[in-house]
Chain A
Amino acid sequence: AQKVTQAQTEISVVEKEDVTLDCVYETRDTTYYLFWYKQPPSGELVFLIRRNSFDEQNEISGRYSWNFQKSTSSFNFTITASQVVDSAVYFCALSEAGTSNTGKLIFGQGTTLQVKP
């Protein structure tokens, strides 16, 4: 069965600190997709990134970076020089691929990040 685990329930940092959000997944599929979503206090979920299982290259987008390691089934998310606006709940999610795929996402429990001024 597919499963996503975000062991960190809450993280609190001071502005400008770097912070890493952990995500560990389980799947029997050889082809799959991993996602990160951000849920700010307004409530709406915002897409951040999608990664497929064949692409283990790390990705950087501004202050955000993602480290995908199939060997440890992890897809961690790092925010460099955190800002108060980064305060949100962050979700990691997994989706299977294949012809029968219906786009269903399995979400982790979420990590609440609080960045203090």
Chain B
Amino acid sequence: NAGVTQTPKFRVLKTGQSMTLLCAQDMNHEYMYWYRQDPGMGLRLIHYSVGEGTTAKGEVPDGYNVSRLKKQNFLLGLESAAPSQTSVYFCASSRESPTGTGELFFGEGSRLTVL
């Protein structure tokens, strides 16, 4: 049971470089999310998607872009990485809104360091 898979698990970037984090889920979930986790701040929502072809901004969207071209994949892009984007990134998915019968299923996280 793969669930939610994030790649890569670790990455080190230099300031100004770009990269893409890939999230793949095999549960046929409609909803997908990208969060970042920073010490003392819990998890904060970056972007989310309520279905294929749709995306929306979360709490901290600046400096990130996303795409949901296929239902099972949700990509998070950093066009020009900054040290402030050093964080652990979590992807999550849910069959429907967690306020229905579902819950968020999380990936294992991707640790990104920007030098």
Contact = CB atoms under 8 A, between A and B. Distances in A.
Given A43-B88, A47-B103, A109-B42, A103 B56 contact: no
Given A43-B88, A102-B48, A107 B43 contact: yes
B45 A45 contact: no
A107 B42 contact: yes
Interface residues of A, number: 27
A91 B35 CA distance: 14
Q: Among the interface residues A33, A97, A105, A109, which one has the most CB atoms of the partner chain B within 10 A? A: A105
Given A97-B99, A103-B94, 13 more contacts: A4-B42, A37-B106, A43-B109, A46-B106, A50-B98, A95-B98, A102-B97, A103-B102, A104-B58, A105-B43, A107-B42, A107-B43, A110-B42
A104 B43 contact: no
B31 interface: yes
Interface string B13-30: 000000000000000000
Contact of B40 (A9, A91, A102): A9
Top 9 closest A-B pairs, CB basis? A107-B42, A103-B97, A45-B106, A107-B43, A47-B103, A109-B42, A43-B109, A97-B99, A33-B99
Chain B contact residues (Cβ within 8 angstroms of A): what range?
20 to 34
B106 A105 contact: no
B42 A103 contact: no
Given A9-B40, A43-B109, A45-B90, A50 B58 contact: no
Contacts of B106: 37, 44-46
Interface of A: 4, 6, 9, 33, 35, 37, 42-47, 50, 52, 91, 95-97, 101-105, 107-110
Interface of A is mostly: loop
A38 B94 CA distance: 17
Interface in B43-94: 43-45, 48, 50, 56, 58, 88, 90, 92, 94
B48 A109 contact: no
Nearest to B92: A45
20 contacts: A4-B42, A35-B98, A44-B109, A45-B92, A47-B104, A95-B98, A96-B99, A97-B99, A103-B98, A103-B99, A104-B33, A104-B58, A105-B45, A105-B98, A105-B104, A107-B35, A107-B42, A108-B42, A109-B41, A110-B42
